[in-house]
Each structure stands twice: as C-alpha cells, then as structure tokens.
Structure 1
Amino acid sequence: MSSTVPTFPELFGKARHTAVHLEMRDAYAVDYETGPFADWRAGVRLDPNDRASWWRPWLDLIQETVNRGVVVRRARIISEPVSEYILFEHSGTFTNVAAGEQVRWLPRRNASDIPLPGNDFWLIDGSLIRWNHFTGDGASAGGEISEDPAAAKLCSDAFEAVWARAIPHDQYKIR
C-alpha cells in the first residue's frame, strides 16, 4: 500500500484502457441542510439541457478520460427499496452517462453470492486500486492506493461479476 494517494486527475491520467468503480453503500455523507442533496430534497432537478450546471470538474474529467479511449464504468450495489440518497444519485446519473461513463445498478439481493472487497474502489487498468474509505456515517475517511495483484484480481473479479448481473442505468427502475 502506498501512503501517497494521487488526485483523481492524476489517477485518471494514468489510465490507458479502463477505469472501473464499485460503490456498495446506500448513503454517503451529505449535508442535509445545504448543497446538492438539500437542493434535490427541495425539488431542484438537474436540467439535461444545462450542462454547465452539472457536477464540475468531475464530469469534465470523465469526458476527457473517455475521449482518450479509456472505458469508464461504474456499478452500484443498492438495497431495495432504495434509500433517499440512492433516489438522489439515480436522478442525477444521466449526467455521468452524458459524460461517457457507463453505469449499472445491482439490487443487493442479487449480489449475495459474489465475493466482494470490503470497501468501494476504483480499479485502473486492472492493476492500480484506489480504495475509498468511509466512516460509519458515510463521511470520507480518505483514500488508499494499492497495486497488490491479489487485491486487484479480487476487485476485477468482483466488478465483472457485479457488472454482468447489473441493470444498465437507462433500464433500472427505482423500487
């Protein structure tokens, strides 16, 4: 494990072929009082025609990465019925897709027999892992980098198993 965690632009800059992300939490820390989640709870929705209002600079980074020929995929394992946070995520995922990211959803009950790592992760080109650590209430507890081949294989196998069962974003209907 490396103590130096690259920024996401540095991490994605290293990607040559693939960048895959597995999310396994039903909620991530959000400010219920202010910010995008609070706005969404108050009825504000992203406008598909107003790209400038979308999550920047993240979506610019995804688009730049995809434009270089890197395939970017995200899979989310979720409980059903979904949490309010997952409703929020689902409503804005069209922006990820528009930036070139492929996104799928897997109901947790369909993941029971898949060996999964203990943390969310990004896997770059099948060998570089960025672990995403979270506190119990969903706040970021920082990232960690690993190039351990056994861990990379676990992440790759887990992601591909989830991906094969998951439902493409445009076909997943919230329950």
Structure 2
Amino acid sequence: MYSLTGEELDELFRSPWQRAFHLELQDTYAVSGEFEPLRQFLAGEAEDAAWQQGWLDLIAEITTAGKTVQRVRVVTEPHTDYTRWALAVSPRNIAAGEDIRWLPRHAIDPALLTGDDYWLFDDHLAAFSVFTRSGEGAGFAVTTDPVVAAHFRAVRDRVWSLAVPHDEYVQASHR
C-alpha cells in the first residue's frame, strides 16, 4: 500500500483506466475549501462555484476522453445540512460527466458496505480515502491487493444496483 496526495492524485485520475467508482459514506465532510460555499448555501446566499472548478475541469477532461466516473453517496434521511448542499451542487458534477447516485442508509445493511470511503479504478486499483483527525481529506491509501479489490467490486456492484440516480432521488426527496 502507498499514499498519494496533492498533484499525485491528479496523476492517478489521468492515468490509464476506463472506469472509476467512488463510494461516500459520511453524512458530513470537513473540507476547508467547502466551508464558505456551504455557509453561503445555508444562509441562502449566492455561491461562487470557483471552489469546485478544478475538480469539474478534471472530470470533464477524463470523461471527454471516454472514461466513466461513478459515485454513490450513502446518506442518512432526513438529510444533514451537508447532504442538502451536496444535492444542490451535484448537478455541476453531473454536467462535467460524473454519474451520481444516492442510497438512503436505511436501504442497505451496514454489514454490506465498507467501513471507509474509497475509489476503485478498473476493478483492481483500490484507493481508500484518508482523512485527518479533524475530517479533512488527506489523500488516498492505494493498493492493488486482489482481496481488497474484490471486496470493493462486490460492494460497488451491490450499492450501484440499489442506488437511485440523482434526478430521480431529488424528485422523490421533494414529494
């Protein structure tokens, strides 16, 4: 296992793979670059989306090149403020090329998930999301261990089939 941070993360996303899958399990993330946009959302203020542009550009670049980027967010209902905000900003991710789905936490047995957020690239490269004690993202711990990759594939296939596409989830959440 090895760690990746900073520019190494962009290199991973630009490396040769065809499908990347991301599982998010937290109801709230402590990402310093998101603090102000989240505050603005909660205050009903106009948001400057510049904080997200680097990610959106990267996703557009790799999906335009023919790669698939999928994300499932496992969320508690009723939603936290962070989840409500994530629902509001996700259309930009989708417009850039991500396929985002939502899975209510009550709809899956927690034993069928992993204990950590992760990325899986082409069914064999597993990247655990690493967080500091305060919850800030600190990069990835990466492995090609076939046992870990097989477990991540099984979880991915399970949650992907249960998760609801973004637009359907938003419609159902507002009824």
Aligned to 2:117: 120
Please give the alpha-carbon distance, in whole angstroms, between the structure 1 residues aligned to 2:109 and 2:132: 23
SS of 2:102's equivalent in the other structure is: strand
Tell me the residue number matched to 1:146.
143
Give me the whole-angstrom Cα distance separating, in 1, the residues matched to 2:157 and 2:111.
10
Tell me which residue corresponds to 1:13. 14
Q: Which runs of 4+ in 1 moved over 6 A?
A: none
Amino acid at match of 2:124: S
Evaluate the alpha carbon distance shift between residue 30 and residue 17 of structure 1 in structure 2; reply closer, same or farther with a 3 A threshold. closer
| More helix per residue | 2
Equivalent in 47, 61, 80 of residue 64 of structure 1: 61
Q: State the shift of 1:37 in Å.
A: 0.9
Pairing of 1:156-167 with structure 2 (within 5 A): 156-167=153-164
Residue type at the aligned position of 1:153: A
Q: Distance in 2 between matches of 1:18 and 1:106?
A: 20
Query: Residues 115-168 of structure 1: CA distance to partner in whole angstroms, max 9, x if unpaired?
Result: 222210111111111211235653224421111111111111101110101110
1:10–1:142 Cα change, 3 Å: closer
Q: CA deviation at 1:114?
A: 5.6
Q: How does 1:1-150 map to 2 (within 5 A)?
A: 1-5=1-5, 7-30=8-31, 35-45=36-46, 53=50, 55-112=52-109, 115-135=112-132, 137-150=134-147
TM-score by length of 2: 0.87
- The CA distance in 1 between the partners of 2:100 and 2:3, in whole Å, is 30
After superposition, give the CA deviation of every residue in 1:8-38 in whole Å (9 maximum; x if it has no partner). Answer: 321111242101100000000155x952111
- Quick one: distance in 2 between partners of 1:34 and 1:160? 32
Q: Which residue, out of 161, 164, 168, partners 2:165?
A: 168
Show CA shifts across 1:83-137 (max 9, x none). Answer: 1100010000000000010000000011116622221011111111121123565
Q: Alignment identity in percent? A: 38
Provide the TM-score with structure 1 as the length reference. Answer: 0.87
Change (3 A) 1:65 1:160: same
| 8 Å contact kept, 2:2–2:141 | yes
